Structure 1
Amino acid sequence: MKHSEPSSELRNVARAAAQWLALMESGTACEHDRVHLQQWRDSNSAHESAWQKAQLLRQRFHKLPTALAMATLDRPDPGRRALLKQALCVAAVVPTAWLVTRQLPLDVWRADLQTATGEHTRVPLADGSMLQLNTASAVNVDMNARLLTLVRGEMALKVAGSAPLTIEVPYGRVTLSRSEVCLRLEAGDCRVSVISGTAQLQPLQGAALLLHEGQRVSLGVTGAGALSQFDRLQPGWREQVLMAQNQPLGDFLRELSRYRAGLLRWEPALEQLRVTGSFQLGNTDRILTLLAATLPLQVQTRTRYWVTLVPRNRQA
Structure 2
Amino acid sequence: MALETAILEAAARWYVDLRCDDADNATREAHLRWLESAPGHRQAWERLIRLQERFDRIGPGMAEPTLKSARIKRREALKVLSLLLAAGGAGTLAWRNTALPSLIADEHTMTGESKSLSLEDGSQVRLNTATAVNIHFGPSLRELQLLNGEILVETARDSLARPFVVHTQEGSIRALGTRFIVRRLDARTQVCVLEQAVEVRSAILTPTVRVEAGQQMWFNQDRMGNVQAASPDADAWTRGMLVVNNWRLEDLILELQRYRPGHLGCQAQIAELRISGVFQLRDIDTILENLSSTLPVRIRRLSRYWTRVESV
TM-score (norm 1): 0.69
Which whole-Å CA distance do the structure 1 matches of 2:104 and 2:217 have between them?
28
Give 1:168's aligned residue.
167
Deviation (angstroms), 1:304 = 2.2
Give 2:191's aligned residue.
192
Give 2:79's aligned residue.
98
Alpha-carbon RMSD across the aligned residues, in angstroms, is 3.4
Structure 1: gaps (5+ residues): 1-18, 67-92
Q: How does 1:120-199 map to 2 (within 5 A)?
A: 120-144=114-138, 145-162=141-158, 163=161, 164-199=163-198
Which whole-Å CA distance do the structure 1 matches of 2:176 and 2:270 have between them?
44
CA pair 266-173 structure 1, distance change in 2 beyond 3 A: closer
Deviation (angstroms), 1:253 = 0.9
Alpha-carbon contact 1:156-1:183 (below 8 Å) kept: yes
Give 1:269's aligned residue.
269
> Which 4+ stretches in 1 moved above 6 angstroms?
none
Question: Does 1:24 find its partner at 2:19?
Answer: yes
Which whole-Å CA distance do the structure 2 matches of 1:257 and 1:58 have between them?
28
Deviation (angstroms), 1:288 = 0.6
CA pair 94-276 structure 1, distance change in 2 beyond 3 A: same
Which whole-Å CA distance do the structure 2 matches of 1:31 and 1:259 have between them?
33
The AA in structure 1 aligned to 2:107 is L
Give 2:38's aligned residue.
none
CA pair 223-271 structure 1, distance change in 2 beyond 3 A: closer
Question: Does 1:252 find its partner at 2:246?
Answer: no
Which whole-Å CA distance do the structure 2 matches of 1:203 and 1:172 have between them?
4
Alpha-carbon contact 2:254-2:265 (below 8 Å) kept: no
CA pair 274-31 structure 1, distance change in 2 beyond 3 A: closer
CA pair 140-94 structure 1, distance change in 2 beyond 3 A: farther
1:36-88 CA-partner distances (Å, limit 9, x unpaired): 99x99xx9xx78x959x949x949x97xx64xxxxxxxxxxxxxxxxxxxxxx
Question: Does 1:288 find its partner at 2:288?
Answer: yes
Which whole-Å CA distance do the structure 2 matches of 1:100 and 1:22 have between them?
12
Which whole-Å CA distance do the structure 2 matches of 1:265 and 1:231 have between them?
25
Give 2:226's aligned residue.
226
Give 1:113's aligned residue.
107
Structure 2: gaps (5+ residues): 1-13, 36-44, 85-94
Deviation (angstroms), 1:268 = 2.4
Deviation (angstroms), 1:283 = 0.5
CA pair 252-200 structure 1, distance change in 2 beyond 3 A: same
The AA in structure 1 aligned to 2:149 is G
Give 1:81's aligned residue.
none
TM-score (norm 2): 0.70
Residue 78 of structure 2: SS of its match in structure 1?
helix
Give 1:16's aligned residue.
none
CA pair 97-219 structure 1, distance change in 2 beyond 3 A: same
Alpha-carbon contact 2:233-2:243 (below 8 Å) kept: no
Question: Does 1:237 find its partner at 2:237?
Answer: yes
Deviation (angstroms), 1:177 = 4.5
1:215-240 CA-partner distances (Å, limit 9, x unpaired): 21222213532211113355522222
